[in-house]
Chains A and B, each alone.
Chain A
Amino acid sequence: MTAKKLGLKQRYAHMTRGLDWETSYQPIDKVFPYDQFEGIKIKDWSAWEDPFRLTMDAYWKFQAEKERKLYAVLDAFAQNNGQTGISDGRYMNVVKLFLTGVSPLEYQAHRGFAYAGRHLRGVGPRVAAQMQSLDELRHVQTQIHTISHYNKFFDGIGEFQHMHDRVWYLSVPKSFFDDARSAGPFEYMIAIGFAFEYVLTNLLFVPFMSGAAYNGDMSTVTFGFSAQSDESRHMTLGIEVIKFLLEQHPDNLPIVQKWVDKWFWRGHRVLGLVAMMMDYMLPKPVMSWKEAWEIYFTEAGGALFQDLARYGLRPPKYADIATAEAEHISHQNWAIFYQYTHAAAFHTWLPDAKHMDWLSEKYPNTFDKYYRPRFEMWGQMAKEGKRFYNMALPQLCQTCQIPMGYTEPGDPTTICFRRTQFRGETYHFCSDGCKDIFDNEPEKYVQAWLPVHQIFQGNCGGATIPDVLAYYRMNVGADNMDYVGSPDEKLWNEWQADKIKTAV
């Protein structure tokens, strides 16, 4: 008689039970030294259940299949000279920003989940964190492999890891993960597993990647969706960790709430880069940042926080401010990069008339009133040979490290500026959200490596702009400055000229 086949739930239980061990010659607290100092109380680790009942054998099977499909697309793209079929040469600058600003975060996420997988004492979350750690490593590898094809043709890609560690604006995403990885294991899980994966990565990997597809970049959309298909599992891990912590002990609620508030705000600041990519850097835009925010934060986040209200958890502090800022953030960020294009590792440009009309349509309350006049003025100045560069170094926010270019809630004409005193020093912030984060843990944030401060202290190659750009390993005149007149533009125009043939 053949044995009856086990169902998925039974099979999962069978394949995952007994993976833990009891210590014999060391106390268990010495083996897991980090999961109690944050104050989180866990009564029953076995209450953890991973809703995706993916065992290791199934994990390898499906990941291998996803990998085969991804590399088949990449191979076809390379053989077909897919780089010549993207919507416009300017598009490539989103890929450069992605590789320098996002892909290294995948590696940081891999390291962070490996740490969480080691230091959470329950076997369920350890296995889930281990799978996520492997996923994140796969993501950074596939992104590097994909984008290496573009590196044969376009500038600004070759030194991405070096740049991530040094270039001023890349300290924004870098410091986000440095902050998360130097926290305890539970805070890390809330920061990345919950706030980042569940609430915020949708905004990057769904509408933005859809934009990559729309702009003819089949390589990027394929690694993006392949990564996001892992994110579905990561989101269930994020939601499971928060439910688990809130169900285990009522004392966990205020700690978790503080982390949700903090990491929502930090994540929202980092994603300002994506806002700009979607609104300004996709030559064929698909969806405005504001629309994406409504779908993925207001609607999806709203459903989630409505669900979590039964534990007493409220939506993140300043969610209303962040939602109001969705009207402004992409325009303000693009304006910052336009002014500092001489120190950016990608090209900038002014939106043309058609693109500005699209922005007016998408932002009827704000674009024409506050942002169009600025871009038109800069366009006029460029025409007169007075292209505007900002040669001063900006004050950076001590928490998010973004230049102080954002405006007061409800007043888009006044720069928002907050300060606090700690141990006789003054620290500066771009918002109440960033100031609160600092005030909760000043000892941590006084250690922040702020690019502008470091330049002034002589720690970034020297006192002049060429010294600093050499320290960044920036190929001046190729990697930076306006798209118009760049080697990238020249190459793109040659490709286009080859495509237009006149029959004789």
Chain B
Amino acid sequence: MSQLASLTLYHNDEARPIIEAIIADNPGVRVLNMPGAVKLDCEGALVVKRASVEERLGREWDPQEIHLVLISMAGHLDEDDDQFSVSWKH
């Protein structure tokens, strides 16, 4: 059975660069649009890279800023200064 790592974000302008970065950096990501929210699922792991978000945002971005637009998640979290990831890998 599949093990989807998942992040659900607000569907707004503030989250859009993050959503775009996730889609670009995680091949095979599944996008579920709901009113007001976007659920992004990917087999095994899902990563949000600081550099990718900064490129789209045009400013410095601290991965902890994800707290402002994150609604829900599934998987084990690992975060540092350069990325934020959820995964079922050990």
Partners in one complex: yes
Residues of A within 8 A of B (CB): 7-9, 51-54, 58, 62, 65-66, 69, 202, 205-207, 209-211, 213-214, 221, 225, 228-229, 231-233, 235-236, 239, 286-287, 295, 299-300, 302-304, 306-307, 310
Question: How distant is A282 from chain B, measured CB to nearest CB, in Å?
Answer: 11
Question: How distant is A224 from chain B, measured CB to nearest CB, in Å?
Answer: 9
Q: Closest A-chain residue to B43, C-beta based? A: A303
Q: A206-B8, A300-B6, A303-B88 are in contact. Are A51 and B76 (CB under 8 A)?
A: yes
Q: A58-B64, A307-B3 are in contact. Are A225 and B77 (CB under 8 A)?
A: no
Which residues of chain B have C-beta atoms less than 8 A from A300's C-beta? 4, 6, 74
* B10 with A225: CB separation less than 8 A: yes
Which residues of chain B have C-beta atoms less than 8 A from A207's C-beta? 34
Which residues of chain A have C-beta atoms less than 8 A from B74's C-beta? 235, 300, 303-304
Which residues of chain B have C-beta atoms less than 8 A from A295's C-beta? 32, 39
Partner of B71, one of A52, A65, A232, A299: A232
* A239 with B76: CB separation less than 8 A: yes
Question: How distant is B18 from chain A, measured CB to nearest CB, in Å?
Answer: 13
Q: Scan B76-88; emit 1 where CB is below 8 A from any A CB, else 0.
A: 1111110000001
Q: Which of B10, B35, B39, B78 has the most CB of A within 10 A?
A: B35
Which residues of chain A have C-beta atoms less than 8 A from B68's C-beta? 62, 65-66, 69, 229
* A206 with B70: CB separation less than 8 A: no
Which residues of chain B have C-beta atoms less than 8 A from A287's C-beta? 34
Question: How distant is A216 from chain B, measured CB to nearest CB, in Å?
Answer: 10
Q: Closest B-chain residue to A235, C-beta based? A: B73
Which residues of chain A have C-beta atoms less than 8 A from B39's C-beta? 206, 295
* A206 with B34: CB separation less than 8 A: yes
Residues of B within 8 A of A (CB): 1-6, 8, 10, 32, 34-37, 39, 63-65, 67-81, 88, 90
| Known A211-B35, A235-B73; further 10 A-B contacts with Cβ < 8 A | A8-B79, A9-B80, A51-B77, A54-B64, A69-B68, A225-B10, A231-B71, A303-B5, A304-B74, A307-B88
Q: Which of A8, A228, A232 has the most CB of B within 10 A?
A: A232
Measured between alpha carbons, how far is A251 from B4 in the docked complex, in Å? 30
Closest 3 CB pairs of A and B: A213-B36, A214-B35, A303-B3
Question: How distant is B65 from chain A, measured CB to nearest CB, in Å?
Answer: 8
Q: A8-B81, A239-B76 are in contact. Are A302 and B36 (CB under 8 A)?
A: no
Question: How distant is A430 from chain B, measured CB to nearest CB, in Å?
Answer: 30
Measured between alpha carbons, how far is A295 from B5 in the docked complex, in Å? 12
Measured between alpha carbons, how far is A58 from B64 in the docked complex, in Å? 8
Q: A51-B76, A205-B72 are in contact. Are A62 and B67 (CB under 8 A)?
A: yes
Which residues of chain A have C-beta atoms less than 8 A from B8's C-beta? 206
Measured between alpha carbons, how far is A221 from B35 in the docked complex, in Å? 10
* B70 with A232: CB separation less than 8 A: yes
* B76 with A225: CB separation less than 8 A: no
Q: Closest B-chain residue to A304, C-beta based? A: B74
A sample of 25 inter-chain contacts (CB < 8 A) reads A8-B64, A8-B81, A52-B77, A54-B67, A58-B64, A65-B68, A205-B71, A206-B34, A207-B34, A210-B34, A210-B37, A213-B36, A213-B37, A225-B37, A232-B67, A232-B70, A232-B72, A233-B67, A235-B72, A235-B73, A235-B74, A239-B76, A299-B2, A302-B3, A307-B3
Which residues of chain A have C-beta atoms less than 8 A from B78's C-beta? 51
Q: Closest B-chain residue to A58, C-beta based? A: B64
Q: A225-B36, A300-B4, A303-B4 are in contact. Are A62 and B64 (CB under 8 A)?
A: yes
Question: How distant is B69 from chain A, measured CB to nearest CB, in Å?
Answer: 7
Which residues of chain A have C-beta atoms less than 8 A from B81's C-beta? 7-8
Question: How distant is A84 from chain B, measured CB to nearest CB, in Å?
Answer: 19
* A302 with B1: CB separation less than 8 A: yes
Q: Closest A-chain residue to B88, C-beta based? A: A307
Q: Closest B-chain residue to A209, C-beta based? A: B36
Which residues of chain A have C-beta atoms less than 8 A from B4's C-beta? 299-300, 303
Question: How distant is B30 from chain A, measured CB to nearest CB, in Å?
Answer: 11
Question: How distant is B55 from chain A, measured CB to nearest CB, in Å?
Answer: 20
